[in-house]
Structure 1
């Protein structure tokens, strides 16, 4: 083999390896980005009383204590939906999050705060509102 052929093969292999490295770097960055949302979720959920997570009605004083946590959870959900809309969240992760959002938002204390937020006439949670209106089944990526 002559030097030109070897050089061409080496260049082609270099391009292939570089392409693979870029793809792997993107996957890692995507996973890190999504994991940050998972950590935010865990931080919020760990602070919410178990009875609220089990859907058990809370006393008025208990409900008042966790309203801010629920509001922050709804804000996180809205942000997750937004990022899926803008194609920053992968399909597998989105499916897990979508199921969790639907499950949690129907729990009594979550529902109470969510109704209150919607009645505030603020469009701050427009992504979450649309997701709810579409029965928690649509993929925001296609909106």
Structure 2
């Protein structure tokens, strides 16, 4: 084998290794990006009183505080959906999020705040509104307009 062939093989191996490193870096960046949303979700959900998650009534002052957190949760959902629409969220994670969004939005206080937002400020969370209209089953990745 001559020096030219060895150099060609070495170059091909180098290109292969570089491609693999880029692929791995993209996967890591994707995981980090998605994990940041998971952390935001956990921070919000942990701040919501357990009674809200169990569908129980709260004293008025606690309910007012919880409403703020629920509104922020709706905003986070809208952002998650928007990122799925631009293909920045993986399909595997999206399926988990979509079912969680549907489950939470059907809880009493979440539903109350969500109805109020849609009535008083329609279009504020346009991605979430579209997902709801689609029965929480459609994949925003294929939406062409919101």
TM-score, normalised relative to structure 1: 0.96
4+ residue runs of structure 1 moved beyond 6 angstroms?
Answer: none
- 1:52 and 1:58 in contact (8 A); partners too: yes
Q: Confirm or deny that 1:31 pairs with 2:31.
A: yes
- Residue in 2 that maps onto 1:122: 122
- The Cα shift of 1:57 comes to 3.2
Instruction: Answer with 60-69 or 13-22: which moved more.
Output: 60-69
- Residue in 2 that maps onto 1:82: 82
Q: Confirm or deny that 1:93 pairs with 2:99.
A: no
- Residue in 1 that maps onto 2:50: 50
Alignment: residue pair count: 143
Superposed CA deviations along residues 14-64 of structure 1, whole A, max 9, x for unmatched, are 000000000000000000000000000000011000111122233433322
Instruction: Answer with 128-137 or 52-61: which moved more.
Output: 52-61
- 1:102 and 1:136 in contact (8 A); partners too: yes
Return 5+ residue gaps in structure 2 as ranges: none
SS in 1 for 2:13: helix
- Residue in 1 that maps onto 2:132: 132
- 1:58 and 1:109 in contact (8 A); partners too: no
- The Cα shift of 1:98 comes to 0.6
What is the root-mean-square deviation of aligned Cα atoms in Å?
Answer: 1.0
- The Cα shift of 1:81 comes to 0.2
Instruction: Answer with 60-69 or 4-13: which moved more.
Output: 60-69
Q: Distance in 1 between matches of 2:63 and 2:48?
A: 10
Could you say which structure has the greater relative contact order, defined with CA pairs below 8 angstroms and 6 or more residues apart? 1
- 2:117 and 2:124 in contact (8 A); partners too: no
Q: Distance in 1 between matches of 2:19 and 2:55?
A: 48
TM-score, normalised relative to structure 2: 0.94
